[in-house]
Structure 1
Amino acid sequence: MTSADFLKNINNHLWVVNEDPVDLQFNHSGYLFLASEKSAHIMEENYRTQRHAGAKVALLSPSQLKERFPWINTDGVALASLGLENEGWFDPWSLLNAFRRKAMSMGVYQCFGEVTGFRCSSNVAEIADGDFVDVKRIKYVNVQMPNSLEYQPVESAVVVNAAGANSGKIATMLGIGLGPKESISGIPFPVEPRKRFVYVVHCPDGPGLDTPFLIDYSGVYCRREGLGGNYLTGMSPEETEEPDISNLDVDDKFFQEKVWHHLANRIPAFEQLKVSSAWAGFYDYNTFDQNGIVGLHPLVPNMYFATGFSGHGLQQSPAVGLAVAELILDGGYKTVNLNAFDLKRIFLREPILESNIV
């Protein structure tokens, strides 16, 4: 909700003098989740949580769903949840460029390079009877610049690890997870790349302008893309069928064998669709509980983490960025309390699990 308010008032935050206003192309069509009989009770619990937090959502019976969206096949649907405001989609590059442009207008220097290592000071600390750990403080970040044969040491008082799918790799460079398995230093940082496919399909007779972002209980999602009968669709694979992350090649068979059947079953018009393009990208997948990890690591007290959002990072980024800034500058949260997403839940083995999400 904090992020939605930020996006709706984007030019109050990110407009730059003498530049064009920011246009995120924010489409407020909402999210429509479908639940089977087996998962309807979870949707009802989520609905109560959302309403308690002030979110505007509504539950729809199958008949109400069919009346509102006649193009949906309601077979197998026991309940639906529709977001009435603050939900939809926007242009991600416009938001990223707006953040970058505003930051640079305020004096931030942008450079591009690959982190190859760290220079740290080190102290041994006792955290329990007879349990000693190596606590590191980052002094320099080694950065390999493009077309350079040597790395450049960048002096750093504070480091924010917002490296997305590569954030776990960076944590390993600091020795996180490489200690004895029975020690806190042996608990790995649980973020890794997971490849996901997005398919653009064309269907002239598909759902119209009132189409929300549809998430079927099969895991297939779909939303309208522009006004020309194009739609984005995809789904996450089973854990045992995760695709190879050594490249960003698209698996066309995945659409044919996994996505299309569920998509056409829920929206019969899509039996006549045609795939026009597709791409692949990486999620910063949190293998522990698929939720974001925000805060300091106890073994590296000047590295803040903001990662592991498992596909939800961009939409949560305005709130998370504000929260991390408050952690750094004020030593605690002032606006949005994100203590639930602290790293300590990983060490305590207390996951925050959600259901009925995409």
Structure 2
Amino acid sequence: MEWNGKEGKWKEEMELKEGEEGRNGSREEAGEVGIEGGIRQQFSRPENILISLFGAQFLRNINEHLGVVNEDPIDIQFNPSGYLFLASEEGASILEENYKVQRECGAQVALLSAEQLKKKLPWINTDGVALASYGLENEGWFDPWSLLSAFKRKALSMGVYHSHGEVIGFKQSVREMITEDGESVNFKRIKHVIVQAPNSLETQSVECAIVINAAGAWSSKVAEMAGIGTGVPDSLEGLKLPVEPRKRYVYMFHCPNGPGLDSPLLIDTSGAYYRREGLGGNYIGGMSPTEEEEPGASNLEVDYDFFHDKVWPALAQRVPAFENLKVKSAWAGYYDYNTFDQNGVIGIHPLVNNMFFATGFSGHGLQQSPAVGRAIAELIIDGQFKTLDLTAFSFKRFCSGEHILERNIV
């Protein structure tokens, strides 16, 4: 595609890399390990800021944590170019409030006026920008697949047995208790996991002491296998895990005259974002759809019209060089989207007393994975959070109706 800035018309020159990215440009694994591989501290809730600060230090010292003797050092290709949030007059006060919380938590962030932003990044069109928030340290992006591979390699080196199969059910023990009001409540404990191996009709029953539900976009289905959300409506047993798959698109485009090494991961006032992809004038970008525009999640086909109609106009308005660009490829992936408040679910279920949740991160799971893994380990070993109190993200908030809202959703 190309945008003809003078005539204000769209010119179609689509290039799809079928085969390399999969049919229709979809790439399923992108949804599993993070769509754009970013890490930032620019959140509004202290817990999310502190989670990401730990994640940044973990990544900076990744070979101390995940290095394996006699194996090559890990290179996650971290680009510490920062995030740049742009705000209109309407959103400037929120950006200022977030900035105060971020600084109190130890994040290195700077606020820039439109004039300061233009001086720092001359290639930006600052029309409609009242304030900008720029991450000075520990923000940027990295290769998601390298991190996932490093986690897996380290686990295997420590004796973890990796079994590939689909969980299709659980065997549980049930203990009934009667409340003071005379209501019956069933407490469950998972004893066995029923697993079906690929290309096999046979199933295997695996004895277990603990189940960690980190099934991402499908974690609600796994929870239902344990009876979570299948009881009487408006009861604790009938309370579902509010996580579902949401399809998101990422587009890779080429612009030879686009921003260079000084380009951060930019989030526009419109919600459109982009970042560099390497050094050859390539970029990736996208935008979260509105509720009305939410695409179906039954497949991973890419909607190129969404880029044409929504993403590109916003990016070209903010970065005039993007008026002329060419889409090279695109893919789609799934967010494990928490419909309740778009924040993670971390901790044990109140009725299934050996199922732990690590899910519902709504697009932030990759950068939050080091701290969340540590938190779950503390709950299992110590019975409580020791390093960082993440109680606010427990399943219990769905019972009380207390939303843990984040004002910096991307």
Quickly name the TM-score band, shorter chain normalised: over 0.9
User: Aligned ranges for residues 322-337 of structure 1 at < 5 Å?
Assistant: 322-337=374-389
The aligned counterpart of 1:98 is 150
Are the aligned partners of 1:42 and 1:356 in contact in 2 as well (CA < 8 Å)? no
1:38 equivalent in alignment to 2:90: yes
Matched residue type, 2:287: M
Matched residue type, 2:401: R
The aligned counterpart of 1:69 is 121
Distance in 1, matches of 2:326 and 2:265, equals: 19
User: Aligned ranges for residues 168-317 of structure 1 at < 5 Å?
Assistant: 168-317=220-369
Matched residue type, 2:310: K
Distance in 2, matches of 1:355 and 1:164, equals: 22
Matched residue type, 1:183: S
Matched residue type, 1:193: P
Are the aligned partners of 1:36 and 1:77 in contact in 2 as well (CA < 8 Å)? yes
Matched residue type, 1:106: M
Distance in 2, matches of 1:215 and 1:356, equals: 10
Distance in 2, matches of 1:141 and 1:216, equals: 45
Alpha carbons of structure 1 residues 271 and 155: separation in structure 2 relative to 1, 3 Å: same
Give the % identical residues.
Answer: 68
Q: Deviations over 1:56-104 (max 9, x none)?
A: 0000000001110111111111110000001000000100110110111
- 1:173: how far off? 1.4
User: What's the secondary structure of 2:406's corresponding residue?
Assistant: coil
- 1:128: how far off? 5.4
Distance in 2, matches of 1:327 and 1:308, equals: 18
The counterpart of 2:403, out of the listed 348, 351, 355, is 351
- 1:233: how far off? 0.3
Q: Deviations over 1:189-233 (max 9, x none)?
A: 100000000000100000000100000121101000000100010
Distance in 2, matches of 1:217 and 1:140, equals: 49
The counterpart of 2:206, out of the listed 154, 174, 180, is 154
Larger RCO: Structure 1 or Structure 2 (Cα < 8 Å, ≥ 6 residues apart)? Answer: 2
Distance in 1, matches of 2:142 and 2:178, equals: 48
Distance in 1, matches of 2:344 and 2:120, equals: 34
User: What's the secondary structure of 2:141's corresponding residue?
Assistant: coil
User: What's the secondary structure of 2:89's corresponding residue?
Assistant: coil
User: What's the secondary structure of 1:185's corresponding residue?
Assistant: coil
User: What's the secondary structure of 2:258's corresponding residue?
Assistant: coil
The aligned counterpart of 2:54 is 2
Give structure 1 regions of 4+ aligned residues with deviation exceeding 6 angstroms: none
User: What's the secondary structure of 2:251's corresponding residue?
Assistant: strand
How many residues in Structure 1 have an aligned counterpart in Structure 2?
358
TM-score normalised according to structure 1 size: 0.98
Q: Root-mean-square deviation (CA), in Å?
A: 0.9
Q: Deviations over 1:145-194 (max 9, x none)?
A: 11210211111100000010010111111221121222111211100000
Distance in 1, matches of 2:184 and 2:89, equals: 51
**Unmatched 5+ stretches in structure 2:** 1-52
Distance in 1, matches of 2:335 and 2:292, equals: 17
Distance in 2, matches of 1:96 and 1:54, equals: 27
Are the aligned partners of 1:134 and 1:299 in contact in 2 as well (CA < 8 Å)? yes
Are the aligned partners of 1:200 and 1:278 in contact in 2 as well (CA < 8 Å)? yes
The aligned counterpart of 2:171 is 119
TM-score normalised according to structure 2 size: 0.86
The counterpart of 1:15, out of the listed 56, 67, 78, is 67
The aligned counterpart of 1:26 is 78
The counterpart of 1:78, out of the listed 107, 130, 133, is 130
Matched residue type, 1:16: V
Are the aligned partners of 1:131 and 1:183 in contact in 2 as well (CA < 8 Å)? no
